[in-house]
């Protein structure tokens, strides 16, 4: 079984990026499991808090999921042409101390949806230097940037557009195939 940890960079209950991630989970090919991590309880990074209390439980849980995963799938919103602060904060916390080793050589793919006309082009591009610094292995063979996403999801954040679902299924299958090649 190939396991992918999926993280959405949005806290909204009806987030289109969380919806995109749920759809990826539902469309994953046989033998592939996408586990969606919960970032909602991750506090803002505070070095004093870390020194006094160590890694917060929510971060430790995400790191356990990352350790068990063959790959990482980031579903990124785009805020003001960049990475959402809450999402970057999660990765910053996860990569502290021993957590950094969990990212080294970890295959990572990035997807995103936006109501704007350019999808999440800027946010996805801004992730690459972060992922390079963490020494991950970004999956370059596919990109999925869902633009004008407002009409492709229902009010609950569920992806309803068949064309986009097909593109997403193809993307996930491609990433999963790469992960399977890496497995013994």
Q: Where are the domains of the chain?
A: 2-182
Helix axes 162-182, 16-27, angle to 10 degrees: 60
Instruction: Please give the model's pTM, rounded to 2 decimal places.
Output: 0.96
Q: What is the pLDDT along the chain (184 residues), one digit of tens a residue?
A: 999 999 999 999 999 999 999 999 999 999 999 999 999 999 999 999 999 999 999 999 999 999 999 999 999 999 999 999 999 999 999 999 999 999 999 999 999 999 998 889 999 999 999 999 999 999 989 889 999 999 999 999 999 999 999 999 999 999 999 998 876 6
Q: Tell me, what DSSP letter sits at residue 29?
A: P
For CA atoms 9, 83, 58, 172, the dihedral sign is: positive
Q: Which fold has domain 2-182?
A: Rossmann fold (3.40.50)
User: Exposed (0-12), middle (13-18) or buried (19+): which is 45, by Cβ within 10 Å?
Assistant: middle
């Amino acid at each position: 079984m190939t396991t992918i940890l999926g993280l959405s960079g949005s806290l909204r209950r009806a987030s289109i990026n969380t919806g995109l991630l749920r759809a990826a989970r539902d469309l994953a090919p046989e033998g592939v499991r996408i586990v969606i991590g919960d970032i909602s309880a991750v506090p803002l990074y505070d070095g004093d808090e870390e020194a006094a209390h160590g890694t917060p439980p929510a971060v430790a849980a995400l790191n356990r999921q990352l350790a068990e995963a063959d790959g990482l799938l980031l579903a990124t919103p785009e805020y003001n042409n960049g990475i959402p602060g809450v999402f970057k904060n999660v990765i910053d916390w996860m990569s502290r101390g021993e957590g950094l080793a969990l990212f080294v050589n970890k295959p990572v793919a990035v997807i995103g949806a936006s109501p704007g006309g350019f999808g999440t082009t800027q946010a996805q591009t801004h992730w690459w230097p972060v992922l390079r610094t963490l020494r991950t292995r970004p999956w370059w063979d596919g990109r999925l940037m869902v633009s004008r996403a407002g009409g492709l999801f229902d009010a609950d954040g569920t992806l309803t557009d068949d064309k986009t679902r097909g593109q997403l299924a193809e993307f996930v299958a491609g990433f999963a195939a790469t992960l399977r090649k890496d497995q013994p």
